[in-house]
Homo-oligomer: A and B are copies of this chain.
Amino acid sequence: MLGLYSTPIERATAGLVRNFDLEPSHARRICELDLATEHYPSGAEIGAADEPPYLKWILDGWACEARELADGRRQIFSFVLPGDLVRPPQIPGARIVRALTAVQCVDVGDMLAHGGVGETTLEALHRATAEAHARKYEHLSRLAWRSALSRMASLLVELHDRLDSVGLTRGREFALPLRHEELADALGLSAVHVTRCLGVLRTRGLMTLQFRRVSGFDRAGLQELCEG
């Protein structure tokens, strides 16, 4: 298992190997490429400067897929983590991808042009996109009839599992660089209520979120809450 000290590209390829059947030998070859990485500062819109059919592969940092309204309200559709892919929106303006921390990524088009990246890698990336799509159904049922506590638990379990698959957890701890407001925008709650929910989880001993890190993460206990 990958520790915290591997490089971003190693973690991202490890995710493809673990979840999407990429051959380890292909993964190694990708890591050895001298890929030109793109860097976005926190708050930047990813892909804003690119021509539409771009495809970005996130190596490091967090972003979100969201709709932002004129009045300042925002709906976060999903969080984008290392190892994930970003596609342009079909309908311009319907949805944007915004970096929530500093983000490092590669352009998949560039990577393919670079050579040495086979068809099988592209297939693994395809399966990754399909899974991201399937997660939208999960998110839909989160928002629909579950209580605030259950929504929160379910999102945290999802994020934990996704981070774990790219080697970004360390036992019961992991970095969660989201403000309460961002969790609120994703879960359809007010930021104040997010605070209260996190407080309940803490007093129940299920997890503690402090200083942008989660500790004491009790996956089984949180999973139980998800049903409610």
Contact status of A139 and B140, CB under 8 A, knowing A145-B75, A188-B145: yes
List chain B residues, Cβ under 8 A from A95: 137
Min C-beta distance of A195 to chain B, whole Å: 17
Q: Is A29 in the interface zone, CB < 8 Å from B? A: no
Least distance between A127 CB and chain B CB atoms (Å): 9
CB <8 Å contact, B90 and A144: no
A88 to chain B, nearest CB (A): 12
User: Are B188 and A77 in touch, CB under 8 angstroms?
Assistant: no
Task: Determine if A134 and B75 form an interchain contact, defined as CB atoms under 8 angstroms apart.
Answer: no
User: Are B90 and A141 closer than 8 Å at their CB atoms?
Assistant: no
- Determine whether the beta carbon of A73 is less than 8 Å from that of B139: no
- Is the CB of A91 closer than 8 A to any CB of chain B? yes
List the B side residues contacting A91 at CB < 8 Å.
134
Say yes or no: A144 contacts B141, CB within 8 Å.
no
Q: Is A28 an interface residue (CB 8 A)?
A: no
The residue in chain B whose Cβ has the minimal distance to the Cβ of A95 is B137
Residues of B within 8 A of A144 (CB): 75, 143, 188
CA distance A143 to B131 in the complex (A): 22
Partner of A140, one of B73, B90, B133, B143: B143
Q: Are B145 and A77 in contact (CB under 8 A)?
A: no
Complex CA–CA separation, A137 to B133 (angstroms): 11
Known interface pairs A73-B145, A139-B140, A140-B75; A134-B90 also in contact (CB < 8 Å) = yes
User: Once the chains bind, are B90 and A130 in contact (CB under 8 Å)?
Assistant: yes
Within the complex, what minimum Cβ distance (angstroms) separates A34 from chain B? Answer: 35
Partner of A141, one of B75, B131, B137: B75
Chain A residues proximal to chain B, CB less than 8 Å: 67, 73, 75, 77, 90-91, 94-95, 130-131, 133-134, 136-137, 139-141, 143-145, 188
